[in-house]
Amino acid sequence: MTTAERIDGKAKAASMSNGIKEETAALLEEHGITPGLAVVIIGEDPASQVYVRNKKRTAESCGFHSVQHTLASDAAQDDVLDLIENLNNDPAIHGILVQLPLPKHLDEQTITQSILPTKDVDGFHFVNIGKLTSGNLADAFVPCTPAGCMLMIEDYLGTDLSGLGAVVVGRSNIVGKPMASLLLKANATVTVCHSRTKDLAGVVRQADVVIAAVGRANMIEGSWVKPGAVVIDVGINRVETTVDGETKSRLTGDVDFESVSEVARAVTPVPGGVGPMTIVMLMANTLRAAKLSVGLDG
């Protein structure tokens, strides 16, 4: 029985953070610029609070100018848009991120599209989506999770995926669709699956690369996976288990790590796989935005 290599996203992200820290120091010394990241959080969603704290801590450890704007859960849409306009016009801010999900009364599309494409470090603006989809990545911002997944895939399979089949399970605008675009740019043959796909297990079993981003705990089992495949688990699901009469919750992915580890070449754990890479790619995008803002190559 073979055991898959555990892809350590935490270690890779830490190594990348060190590189970003060095580049940030050089940017300040040579050009007098400190990358500025503004995070806007609306309401009290506990998971969002944790994500924002992690982003702020990482930004500060990289030497960034880090700003957080916290608005009440009943904040008016016009107040959110006014704040974003001020950040768009602030030369000290190079990246703007609005933490999702938003309270129900706010229009997510209007708010995310109000961020300048040049400061859209989440890669959600239609201009950046268009650049990614058409393969024009020179000054595009790619969504952080797919960008991080791609770097982990490249560690095992290189930058040219010619002749390899990739299956993306999930078609969200945040992960599934941009992931497919990146894989296509790397010359993979890409299939995007979703809840309406017939014989999902059979489709997944053909893939050399599997990206699971569907939000269902342990859905992808070892029997679904082609021997030697590289499996990237984007799912974050909170599952409750009872141990000695006590209910505890733990995080698990969309992939059944144990059974998949018996057939795959490499697989990301949850937690400790994709999550840390998502945050470090946000830092990489913000550093790039700062460099592009003064005409330096990103």
- Write out the catalytic residue numbers: 55, 99, 122
Kindly state the DSSP code that residue 255 receives in the 8-state scheme: B
Residue type at position 65: H
Strands in 95-98's sheet, in edge-to-edge order, are 65-71, 36-42, 95-98
Structure tokens at 282: 């946000």
Q: Cα torsion for 194, 197, 200, 204, to the nearest 10°?
A: -60
Peptide bond preceding 35 in cis form (omega within 30 of 0): no
Cβ-contact 37, 6 below 8 angstroms: no
In this structure, the number of other CB atoms found within 10 A of the CB of residue 243 comes to 8
For residue 250, list its beta bridge partners: 239
User: What DSSP element (H or E) covers 292?
Assistant: helix 274-293
